[in-house]
Amino acid sequence: MLIDTYGRVATDLRVSLTDRCNLRCTYCMPEEGLQWLAKPDLLTDDEIVRLIDIAVTTLGIEEVRFTGGEPLLRPGLVGIVERVAALTPRPQMSLTTNGIGLKRTAAALKAAGLDRVNVSLDTLRPDVFKTLTRRDRHKDVIEGLDAARAAGLTPVKVNSVLMPGLNEDEAPDLLAWAVEHAYELRFIEQMPLDAQHGWKRDGMITAGDILTSLRTRFELTPEGSEERGSAPAERWIVDGGPHRVGVIASVTRPFCSACDRTRLTADGQVRTCLFAREETDLRAALRSGAPDEEIARIWRLAMWGKKAGAGLDDPSFVQPDRPMSAIGG
């Protein structure tokens, strides 16, 4: 079991498979990209599967989410999914992706055992997409979403970040489109995880702003805390149902008290929080020949020291020194 001093138990593991990405989203990294991790620093496929095995069979992890960077850039992704699906007990498996490579991989991922996907799409307008991501790939994302739904990677969830002066007016249009295509839309407040450290709380599009905009066109009924559980998204029933829309308000409505996540970076570091500045090295233990029991002990100790909250409301908050692409969202 992965428990901290506040009684929270981690059952959800986020695994970053690579720090690389084929987009350059303005809220994540600079246009020229970043200095990527050297290949020897990355966990191998075998190391990733071994750590997930320890997490699932020894530490009580029930759900595994593959992230990046862009996880579809990981050459061994399908094989990793297949091997994790063979574990006993079998964890639920999902993947967060920008969707660009889904058209060609969705069917193989489903056959390997992946349960569902989260796809990032911030706008319905190709020109705005190009401005936000610095790449002309909007059509590829739409086709990737179609392929994921056709392959049965459902529910297909769409994650959207609204940015001032770019797509802040699109919330109602995005929800109407998601309802039409049977996708579950989730808006995410922009978080202080950009490599440029240009994030400013003043002027960001808040959960309150998003809900006010949505209510100009839709009737929203709160789903309730019992349905939410430890999920990061607050959800609302749209026009009486069955469709729902979620808002992940990490900045203005933090949900730290219910957090059930632990994170593994692409280079084998445990992070107890997306906003943490401290990491615990599991790669060194792996490569020094440590047995599973020792690795589990190190992981438990790391989680025991998890802080009460992210501290975003603290004036002394210091942004993490790794961007979202290196941590895995």
Is 70 exceeded by the pLDDT of residue 216? Answer: yes
Neighbours of 125 (CB within 10 A): 15
pLDDT surpasses 80 at 312: no
Closest CA to 82 of 61, 104, 52: 52
**Distance (Å, whole) CA 153 – CA 64:** 15
Q: Amino acid letter at 200?
A: K
- pLDDT tens-digit series, residues 259-292: 999 999 999 999 998 878 889 999 999 999 999 9
H or E stretch covering 325: helix 324-327
CB 186, CB 162: distance < 8 Å? no
Confidence bin at 239 (pLDDT 50/70/90) = very high
Evaluate if residue 41 carries a pLDDT over 80. Answer: yes
pLDDT: which is higher, 277 or 165? 165
Annotated binding site for [4Fe-4S] cluster: 21, 25, 28, 256, 259, 273
Element housing 265 (H / E): none
Indicate whether 314 pLDDT > 60.
no
Binding residue numbers for GTP: 14, 65, 96, 157, 261-263
- The residue among 157, 173, 168, 147 whose CA lies nearest residue 329 is 157
Q: What is the mean pLDDT of the chain?
A: 89
How much is the pLDDT for 329?
56
Label residue 323 by pLDDT band (50, 70, 90). Answer: low
What does the DSSP assignment read for 129-168? HHHHHSS--HHHHHHHHHHHHHHT--S-EEEE---TTTTT
Q: Tell me the torsion sign for CA atoms 86, 88, 92, 96.
A: negative
For a pLDDT cut of 90, what percent of the chain falls above it? 73
**CA angle, residues 116, 43, 311, in degrees to nearest 5:** 70
Binding-site annotation, residues for S-adenosyl-L-methionine = 27, 69, 120, 191
pLDDT, mean of residues 122-126: 97
What pLDDT is attached to residue 256?
A: 85
pLDDT band (50, 70, 90) for residue 115: very high
Helix axis angle for 77-85 and 45-57, nearest 10°, is 30
Binding-site residue ranges: 14, 21, 25, 27-28, 65, 69, 96, 120, 157, 191, 256, 259, 261-263, 273
pLDDT tens string 66-113: 999 999 999 999 999 999 999 999 999 999 999 999 999 999 999 999
| pLDDT confidence bin for 33, thresholds 50/70/90 | low
What pLDDT, on a 0 to 100 scale, did the predictor assign at position 280?
Answer: 97
Give the Å distances, CA to CA, from 197 to 303, 311, 322, 323: 27, 17, 10, 9
Cα 167 to the center of its chain, rounded Å? 21
| Position 230 confidence tier, pLDDT thresholds 50, 70, 90 | low
Asked if 91 and 64 count as a contact pair (C-beta separation under 8 A), the reply is yes
d(CA 310, CA 26): 23
pLDDT digits (tens, 9 = 90+) for 135-145: 999 999 999 99
Tally of CB atoms within 10 A around 64 = 26
> What is residue 229's predicted lDDT score, i.e. its pLDDT?
63
CB contact at 8 A, 319 and 199: yes
Flag the least confident range among 38-42, 175-179, 190-194, 307-311: 190-194
CA-wise closest residue to 118 among 152, 94, 101 = 94
* Residue 275 confidence (pLDDT): 78
For the chain, give me the number of helices (H) and strands (E)?
Answer: 11, 14
